[in-house]
Structure 1
Amino acid sequence: MTAALTAGCTRHGPGDDGRAPYETPSAASGSLLAVKIDNVPAARPQTGLDAADVVYAEQVEGGLSRLMAVYASTLPKTVGPVRSARESDLELLRQFDEPTLAYSGAQQKLLPLIRRAPLRAESPDEAAGAYYRSTGKAAPHNLYLHPARLLPTVPGRAALSSGFRYGPAPSGGTPETARTVRYPSARFAFTWSAQRDGWLVSMDGTPTVTPDGRRVVVATVVVQYVKIRPSRYHDVLGTNTPYTETVGSGRAEVLRGGRSYDATWSRPAATDGTAFTAADGARVNFADGQVWVVFAGAPS
């Protein structure tokens, strides 16, 4: 499936009409684009978030949150605000084939790791012509990206993780109309809308909208329970940067169609995709459309 898909709407594809479910192959068909996106109130509403194939939500310093939007099927005209990278981003991105990472800098001691990582790192230092400052927000929440200046063409959904599988809903599950994931200083809420055939997103108690006021609606929400530990790095205030471990295995919840499905996630090595399976070992299909993966701290 390499054709561009329309952003901001529910997308139906393989598996929805009785055909075999679509699973992304392990070999990518080109570089996809991952963008680190600011997620404090001053940065909202974000631009281009609704066009992403996948949005990852992670915990950062002070218990706040940050997003990574991944684009493989289509590129919006603008994405942002763009913010800095974290060490755990490098591990998360290893599952993709030499992705392009757009970010606005990093902790000084982390920069050598970014340069050695198997990805194409494109900050304003490397690609100044792809970024601009908006007058609508105050710095540092006003740095935006023209994605096409970094990635003229998109590789298609085949460039996504081999762990993602799209198709008919699994059997079983429990009715679920609302789910909240809390960080120490942030929270994500997802409310099922039968009318919109998707999950309405809210962050920190505020509806997530596009710049023109449309609600962001996603097809599948994955709550992935992972180990979140201190890293070797600190921000400018001396606050430790959390490290989100995405290699290993653990519990997950897959939300789709107004139901919740218990699952186990498994990613044996950094170069593997993340597979989601039910108790009987069957793969858990995602609904076709945008996926949000929220990394939640696993109970100790």
Structure 2
Amino acid sequence: MGLSKIFERTNLVKINIEKVILMTLLVIVLATASGGVLYAGPGNSGRINIHPGTVQFRVEEPVSEVPANHMLVIHRNKKDVQGNVYYTVVDNSKSPIDLARYIVAKTPYYSDYQPLDSPVLFLAKEDDRATIELKLRLDSLFWRLVPDGKYDLHLVSDKGKSVNIKIWVNKVSFMVVTPDNINIVADNGPGTYYSQETASVYINSANNKWLLDIRATPLFYQGDNNEALVIEPGNIYISTDRLKNYRSLADVYRISGERYGNVANLNFYIKVDVGTEHFAGDYKGQIILTVSGQ
């Protein structure tokens, strides 16, 4: 068979980018009260109830907000408890920043969530019952400065019972890869062919101690030929520059976060070497990206 026959039709090399994140997860068993109020706050606390109890937030990924594990219901036990009922959050934890301002409440008396580092109306004087929704709002300052661990806060009022708030912080390395597939068209005989698409990798980590490892599986021939035809990883190359500095994936290609910081946006370009031994047809394999860190 001559060379003109080997590539008589378009040779589509499909590379599926598999997203893998390796990390150490902290497994936490949290025993909570089955319901009711945990303890009474100051003042006339026996007449205003708020339940079902402990509010929990779990922070793992750099999202904009985290919902509480449940809503709260506040109600009056006796009609002789008069006036509006306000609640605020007190942060007695060892956090380097005041976490009270990150907790917000949605009540029937406001059109939007209100920060709980100052008093917020939970129950108006004309009402006997209200439902409250809490969220933890995050920003880059929280993500950078608050270490992993457990933080205890309190939701308090001078007319109602108090509720424990627990914030569990277990920040992990977070990676997004797009697109899911990279196509390379080899349509002109043996040679080197480049991807038209860019593989974009976004990494957000708690620090710059992350490592990104890139490796490739062989690209396997998808046709009916009985021969086990492959394009080996040594003939697959990757670079952050479209025109130069390509690295063979015969071995693992490692990138250190110390060069980029805790947040990185990386664009990768792929090329493959196709030889005379490769039949015309489709070849498919994977490029596997693994991010790990401290």
- Give the structure with the larger helix fraction: 1
TM-score by length of 2: 0.20
- Give the structure with the larger strand fraction: 2
TM-score by length of 1: 0.20
